[in-house]
Amino acid sequence: MFVRTAGERDLQAVRDLLVETWHATYDGIYGAERVSKITDDWHSIPALRARLEKPRSEFVLADDGSAIAGMAFATVADGGKTVMLHQL
């Protein structure tokens, strides 16, 4: 695995990963229908694209060369004094 910056070409693979992991984690709590609604909103291609374009942020992937195994999204706050990890 290596860590690299996400790009436009990665968005569908990231969405697929997030949908799969959210269903595996939250279906038993919220139900599959509710999780689908959440992922359709939060993990849509336009929502992920907005992260790519957000100033003072970083969207990185764990990649083994053939598959995306993880992702993280963080932004800088407080004039650069704080990094907020929004998603891992």
Give per-residue pLDDT as tens, 58-78. Answer: 999 999 999 999 999 999 988
Residue 36 above 90 pLDDT? yes
pLDDT of residue 37: 97
Q: How many CA atoms lie within 13 A of 83 on its CB side?
A: 9
Which H or E element spans position 69?
Answer: strand 68-77
Residue 45 above 90 pLDDT? yes
